[in-house]
Amino acid sequence: MVRAKQTRQRGGARFRLVLTLLLLVALILAFVKIIPAYVAYYQFEDAIKSEARFALTGYPKKSLDDIRDDIYKKAQELDIPASRDAIQLIVDPTNGQVDITVDYNVTFDLALFAWPHDFHAHADNHTI
């Protein structure tokens, strides 16, 4: 009787170990698909902050199309699925203010489901 009880307990421990390892592998695979999109988002947001900060101070002065082209090139470089139309620019040269907003959507294709996520990158030079 004691022996049967010990055997069941060992099998339960193995089952929990296998279940824990499967959960750990699933989390690692999810993070491998999710983290690169967030890294690209933060790099892109840093790039548009630099663009907003120096858009009106460079020589020669950039036009709105030049600013939009630079932002779009950076998005393409980082494999961000943002269209040229998604880049919203508000430039007020009299006050020296620049607002840049880019909204885009990334769908994370996980094994069991697809998770759509909206990213909102925004930068301005109001604090300068």
What is the band of 4 on the pLDDT scale with cuts at 50, 70, 90?
low
The set of residues, in sequence order, having a beta carbon less than 8 Å from that of 94 and lying 6+ positions away, is none
Residue 115's pLDDT is what? 87
Distance from C-alpha of 125 to C-alpha of 38, rounded to nearest angstrom:
23
What's the rounded Cα separation, in Å, for the pair 51 and 98? 9
37's CB contacts (< 8 A; 6+ apart) are 106, 108, 117, 119
CA 72 – CA 83 distance, rounded (Å): 7
pLDDT of 9 reads 56
Q: Is 65 a residue whose pLDDT tops 80?
A: yes
Confidence tier at 104 by pLDDT (50, 70, 90): very high
pTM above 0.75, yes or no: yes
